[in-house]
Amino acid sequence: MRETAFDRGNRLAAADQQEQAITAFSECLQHNPQDWQALFNRGTARMRLKQYPQALEDYLAAAALNPSSSNIKCNLAVLLKELGELTLAENLLLEVLQAEPQHAEAWSNLGVVLQYALRYDDAVVCHQNALQLAGPSGGRLNNLGNALSCALRLDEAVSAYRQGLELQPDDAYLAFNLSVALLLQGEYRAAWPLYEQRWRTIMQPRYREHAWQGQVLGEQHLLVWAEQGLGDTLQMARFLPVLRQQHPDARITLACQTACLRLFGQLEGIDLVPLEDAPPSHDWQIPLMSLPLRLDVTLDTLSDQPYLRADSTLCAAQEQCLPARQAGRLRVGIVWETGSWGVGIADHGRQNKSIPLDAFLPLLDNQAADFVSLQLGALPAALQGRVYTPAIGDFADTAAIVNQLDLVVSVDTSVVHLAGALGKPVWVLMRAESAPFFMASGETSPWYAGMRIWRQETPGNWPPLIDSVAKTLRQLPRD
């Protein structure tokens, strides 16, 4: 019997050949535009390809033809979540659960939606309901672990991830997410090997061949390459001098972001190349954030001392752009936003690290401080006349500015790592969920001696934290 277009579409979708599956389901719809299953399946294939507007069109058309279908509503809710429409997604899933309280997938999806809505304990309950209804699986235990980790219920999160790995030992998402929970707990030796699973989950390695495993290099050439954000590059650069010391005869090259090149010129014995350029010929390569694994970094061996310095010539030039020194006044650098973000859920985490400007403004109500923006981009109108804006081209410029400040107050972004690396006092305004290298609690950082961490008490609620920071800032001694 010849395969139908619908069957062919399902087979292709199962083989992750989504474009071909879309073609097959479209063929079905040419014969019967009222085929809600073909519409639904085509929408799912389009969603997997992140063709969200087309997927939304298909799902809405399928729902109009079969308004009672829980599966359509569940998938539509997932799509709405991806579009950032969390309230609509939640309401749709609640509608499903009102009709079918035993719908395990709806409970799972609702848990994910509530996690993005920062309602972590509620999300945990949803995932527990899904597990009770459908039984344990790697995916359901991973979802539970994620919600628990965001809630900083880390012992429970670690247990959930490990249960999932018992069922699916090769699940890279479980292993990577477990590493994040362990990093938050300071269990570095257990975390670093699992952290390598990032290459099978959220990232693609720039290079795969000739991976360095930590063996003696002799006179061979090792290429170290930046892999994630600018803050990660600044933070992990501390290990390059250690690498240089352990392998004195090797040639070591760092491929990094252009913004870091001038600043990193001070790293003795380290060649530098732009990350986007073709790499030089090398014997071995390693991503920058794998160095802690190869160097066996633990909390006991981690140094919190400065490892970068500002260029004196740049400091003199930047001094002209800063407010004049006055007795009794502080110079305070500020960053309130981690950068621009796109539409939908993709940049959700970065957005939650930022502070809405209206919530940040009370920090500036200080008559004994001059504020200096360390944030790139145009200054918002609300800050005009209240904040100095020196010209910043790269991190060498930023370092020269930070070097002449009394304090940096910033959300969790690259500037806090730069200030910490320079040994400058820095206050980090940290969201309640924390971040892997900032531990789950406490005011101090094992990475930077001059860092103080201010933590949200309630996810998403910045005003109480800003009030506390502003009060403490007003009480600081002034020369």
Per residue in 107-160, pLDDT tens?
999 999 999 999 999 999 999 999 999 999 999 999 999 999 999 999 999 999
pLDDT at position 48 over 80:
yes
Residue 271: phi and psi, rounded to 5, are -75, 150
DSSP letters spanning 366-399 = -TTEEEEE---SPPPGGGTTTEE-----SHHHHH
Counting residues of the chain whose pLDDT is more than 90, the rounded percentage is 89
Q: Which residues contact 24 (CB under 8 A, 6 or more apart)?
A: 5, 6, 8, 9, 12
Q: Which band of pLDDT confidence, cut at 50, 70 and 90, is reported for residue 326?
A: confident
Structure token pair of residue 431 = 């969201």
Helix (H, G, I), strand (E, B) or coil at 321: coil
* Residue whose pair of structure tokens reads 């002034």 in the numeric block: 478
What is the CATH architecture assignment of 312-475? 3-Layer(aba) Sandwich (3.40)
pLDDT at position 5 over 50:
yes
| CA gap 249, 252 in Å, rounded | 9
Structure token pair of residue 35 = 């085929």
Average pLDDT over all residues of the chain: 94
Q: Strand 369-373's sheet: what is its strand order?
A: 387-388, 369-373, 330-335, 407-411, 426-430, 451-455
Provide the CATH number for the domain formed by 5-200 in this structure: 1.25.40.10
For 370, which DSSP code? Answer: E
Rounded average pLDDT over 259-278: 96
Residues of the chain with CATH 1.25.40.10: 5-200
| CA gap 273, 280 in Å, rounded | 8
Residues of the chain with CATH 3.40.50.2000: 312-475
Alpha helix (H) residue ranges in 395-462 = 395-402, 414-422
Structure token pair of residue 205 = 């390695």
Q: What is the 3-state secondary structure (H, E, C) of 42-86?
A: HHHHHHHCCCHHHHHHHHHHHHHHCCCCHHHHHHHHHHHHHCCCH
* Residue whose pair of structure tokens reads 């479980």 in the numeric block: 174
CB crowding 342-353: b at 16 or more within 10 Å, else e:
eeebebbebbbb
What are the pLDDT digits (tens) for 333-347?
A: 999 998 765 667 777
Contact status, residue 168 vs residue 139, Cβ threshold 8 Å: no
Counting residues of the chain whose pLDDT is more than 70, the rounded percentage is 97
Length, in residues, of the chain: 479
- Bridge partners (DSSP) of residue 370 are 331
Q: How far apart are the first and last CA of the chain?
A: 89
Q: Which residues contact 172 (CB under 8 A, 6 or more apart)?
A: 197, 200, 201
| CA gap 195, 199 in Å, rounded | 9
Tell me the CA distances in angstroms from 413 to 82, 162, 235, 352, 422, one per residue in order.
Answer: 24, 30, 11, 12, 15
Structure token pair of residue 397 = 């410029």
Structure token pair of residue 72 = 């359509």
What are the pLDDT digits (tens) for 204-224?
A: 899 989 999 999 999 999 999
Sign for the pseudo-dihedral over CA of 132, 133, 138, 143 = negative
Rounded average pLDDT over 88-114: 97
Structure token pair of residue 464 = 């109480």
Q: Mean pLDDT lowest for which of 1-10, 212-221, 256-265, 449-458?
A: 1-10
Q: Which band of pLDDT confidence, cut at 50, 70 and 90, is reported for residue 386?
A: very high
Residue 440: phi and psi, rounded to 5, are -90, -20
Rounded average pLDDT over 421-449: 97
Tell me the CA distances in angstroms from 210 to 8, 256, 271, one per residue in order.
Answer: 41, 19, 19
Q: Which residues contact 156 (CB under 8 A, 6 or more apart)?
A: 148
